[in-house]
Chain A
Amino acid sequence: MTEFPSDAILVVVETGASGELEKAAPGLFGAAAAVGTPIALVLASPGAGSAAAAEAAALGARRVLIAETPDPSVLGVPSVDALAAAVEQVQPDAILISQSLNGRDLAGRYAARSRAAVSVDAVGVSRDDEGVVAHHSVYGGAYDVTSTSTFGAPVITVRQGSIEARATAQPQDSETLTVPPSGKRAARIDSFDEAVVATSRPELRGAAKVVAGGRGLGSEEQFALVGQLADALGAAVGASRAAVDAGYIPTAHQVGQTGVSVSPQLYVALGISGAIQHRAGMQTAKMIVAINKDGDAPIFEVADFGVVGDVFKVVPQLISALEARKK
C-alpha cells in the first residue's frame, strides 16, 4: 500500500438508492481540493462501490477507499466503523462530511468515538499555518465565524449547496477498505421507499434557485402559482411557515429558522412578509426578489428587487415574459 499524501483531506460520501453519489459530493470535493488533496471514502450499498468510486474520481478524488455496507439494514454504525478505519490509514488533515441527516449522525458518532473536534454546518473551508479552518454563517447569516480543532484533524460537516467550487477530475485510483466492525448497537432499517420523483423540480436543500410562497397565496389551490414560476425558472419550491401552517404545502418545503436553510443563487419570495425567522433561512441567497402587495413588508428590507403588487397579476405576466424571452 502506498502512502497517502501528507495534505490529505478525507471526503466522506455515500451512495443513494440507485447507487449514485449523494448530491453534496461535488461541493465536498470542491472544498477539499482548495485546502489539500481530496481522498474519498465512498460508503456504498452492496455492489455499488466501483461505479461510485469512478464517480468520486471524476469529481476530484485523487484516491478512493471503497467501503460497501456488509448489511444494508444496519443504520449508521457500519459507516462510522468505515470512517474510523479510513482515518487510521489516511491520517488526513481534515474530514469533510455533508451536513445531511446521515452525515450528522456519522460525524457525531465518529467524533464521540475518537474524541475528535467537530465544526458543524460549515459554509466554507480554508487553511492557515496551523491547519484546516471551517467557516460558518450563524444566526441566519448575521455573523461569520471561523472554527477549528485544538489538535488533530477537525471533523467538518458542510452545509448542502453552500460550496460552488468544483475540483478537477482525477484518474481513478481506488481500493477496497477493510473495515473491522465495532459491534456498536444500531437501529435497523426495516424498509425503504425510494423517493418518487413526481416532478423534475430540484430538491429544495442545495437548489441553485428557489421560488417560495407565503400566506399571501391564499389557498392550497392558488399556491400552484409558486410551482408554475418555479418550473419556468428551473427552481425548487419553498414556503414560509405561515403557508405550511395554513396547509398550503407540506412541512418539507418550509424555509426558515425552523425549516430548511437555503443559500441559492436566486430566491424569489411570493406573498411572504419576511418575518425574521423566515429571513434567517434565506438571507444568504445571492439575489433576492420579492413580490408582495404590502409595501411595508419586511421582506423588502433584504430584497435586491422588490415589487409592490399582486402576485396573481405580476407572476403570470413574469412567467409569460420569461417564456417569450426563451423563444
Chain B
Amino acid sequence: MKIIVLVKEVPDTYGDRKLNLETGLADREASEAVIDEIGERALELALTHADANDGTEITVLSLAPEGATARIRKGLAMGAGSAIHVSDEALRGADLGLTAETLAAAIRRVEFDLVITGNVSTDGSGGMIPAMLAELLDVPLATGLSSVAISDGAVSGTRRVESGVQKVSANLPAVISITEALPGPRFPNFKGIMAAKKKPLEMLTLADLGITADNPDAARSIMLTVAEKPPRAAGVKIIDEGDAGEKLADFLVENRLA
C-alpha cells in the first residue's frame, strides 16, 4: 500500500506569530518554523499501519518555502520512506485553490492508495485542502476522522458532526483527514535521523508539475487589507479576601452576563 501524508510548515504556536503588514504574508523570521503537529499525527497513523503491514510505502509531501527541507526531513527521520518538497517562488502567498491544484498534481505523479492529512492547520485554520484534493483527484473523501482503520482496499473511521457521530468508509484510493483524537507522533530516534539522510527527497517546482500560478481561468482569493489588532488590555484584578465570588457575581449581573 502506498500512503501519502501531507505535512505543513507553520509558525510555532508557542512563539509570537506575526503577519507582515505590507505583504499580508506570514513573517517567517518572527517565529520558529515547525511541522504542524496534526500533520505529524497523520504521519504517525501511516507509520503505525506500516509497522503492522509489510510492504507499506509512506511518502511525506509538503508545499513549503525552500528552507523547509530540514523540517520535512523530520518526517523521514520518524520513518517515512521518501519525501516530496514542492517549492516555487510563484507559490509565495498561494491561496487554497492554487495550493490544492499544486498538491494534487504532485500526488498524481506518484501512485497512491491513501492520502492522509490533518483536519486543520494551526496557521490558516481553513481545513479545506483535503476536500479540494478529493475533488481534483476524483476519489472519496472522509474528513475529521477521530478513529481510523485501514484495510486492503478500504479505509473506515468515525466522524463527529454537529448532530452526532457517523461511521464512514471508503474504497481506496481515498483522501482522509484526522483529528487530534488520534495518537501523538513518535520521536525520531538516532537511527531514524541517520537513516533519513540517505532517504530520497525530491524537490519539485511548478514547472515540473505543469502548473501556472497565474492561470486566468481560476478565480483566486486575495487579501485586501491586513491590520494588527491592538493587544487586549487587562481589566480589573482583585485578590480574593473572602468575598471575590460575591464581587464577581455583581460584575456579571451588572454586565448582564448572568
Contacts and interface: CB of A to CB of B under 8 A. Distances in A.
- Are A and B genuine complex partners? yes
Interface of A: 16-18, 22-23, 75-76, 80, 99-102, 104-109, 111-113, 115-121, 133, 137-152, 154, 157, 184-195, 203, 209, 232-233, 251-252, 254, 257-259, 261, 265-266, 276-277, 280, 283, 287-289, 291, 295, 300-310, 313-322, 325
Given A287-B255, A304-B235, A322 B249 contact: yes
A322 B224 contact: no
Interface in B218-258: 218-229, 232, 234-240, 242-253, 255, 257-258
B164 interface: yes
B199 to A, nearest CB: 29
Nearest to B253: A325
A149 B221 contact: yes
Interface stretch (B1-9, B77-85, B166-174): B166-174
A165 to B, nearest CB: 19
A252 B245 CA distance: 29
Contact of A107 (B128, B134, B220, B253): B128
B167 A318 contact: no
Interface of B: 13-19, 24, 37-38, 95-97, 100-101, 119, 122-136, 138-144, 156, 159-171, 174, 179-181, 217-229, 232, 234-240, 242-253, 255, 257-258
B113 to A, nearest CB: 14
A317 B95 CA distance: 51
Contact of A277 (B14, B144, B236): B14
Contact of B167 (A102, A189, A261, A310): A189
Contacts of A301: 232, 234
11 contacts: A109-B132, A117-B97, A118-B126, A139-B19, A147-B224, A150-B220, A157-B128, A189-B168, A257-B122, A314-B244, A317-B245
Contacts of A154: 219, 221
Contacts of A209: 257
Contact of A322 (B163, B232, B258): B258
Given A107-B131, A118-B128, A144-B226, A303 B219 contact: no
Given A142-B17, A143-B228, A317 B244 contact: yes
B226 A145 contact: yes
A148 B221 contact: yes
Given A138-B19, A141-B229, A194-B163, 18 more contacts: A17-B163, A108-B130, A111-B132, A117-B221, A143-B226, A143-B227, A149-B222, A151-B219, A154-B221, A188-B168, A191-B166, A288-B232, A289-B252, A300-B234, A303-B237, A304-B235, A318-B246, A321-B248
Nearest to B235: A304
A142 B257 contact: no
A43 to B, nearest CB: 13
Contacts of B227: 143-145
A108 B96 contact: yes
Contact of B17 (A108, A139, A289): A139
Contacts of A101: 119, 127, 143-144, 159-161
Majority secondary structure of chain A interface residues (helix, strand, loop or mixed): mixed
Contacts of B124: 120
Contacts of B217: 115
A141 B252 CA distance: 24
A143 B163 CA distance: 32
A157 B120 CA distance: 14
A10 to B, nearest CB: 16
B125 A261 contact: yes
A186 B174 CA distance: 9
A147 to B, nearest CB: 5
A187 B135 contact: no
A198 to B, nearest CB: 13
Contacts of B165: 192-193, 195
B148 to A, nearest CB: 12
Contacts of A140: 17
Task: Point out which of A99, A115, A185 has the most chain B C-beta atoms below 10 A from its C-beta.
Answer: A185
Contacts of A314: 240, 244-245, 248
Contact of A307 (B180, B234, B238): B238
Nearest to A232: B258
A266 B221 CA distance: 33
A227 to B, nearest CB: 16
Contact of B13 (A115, A277, A295): A277
B120 to A, nearest CB: 8
B244 A190 contact: no
B254 to A, nearest CB: 10
B249 A187 contact: no
B140 A187 contact: yes
Contacts of B122: 257-258
Task: Point out which of B38, B122, B165, B232 has the most chain A C-beta atoms below 10 A from its C-beta.
Answer: B232
Contacts of B97: 111-112, 115-118
A301 B19 CA distance: 22
A99 B119 CA distance: 12
B24 A145 contact: yes
Closest CB pairs A-B (n = 5): A317-B245, A309-B240, A108-B131, A321-B249, A16-B163
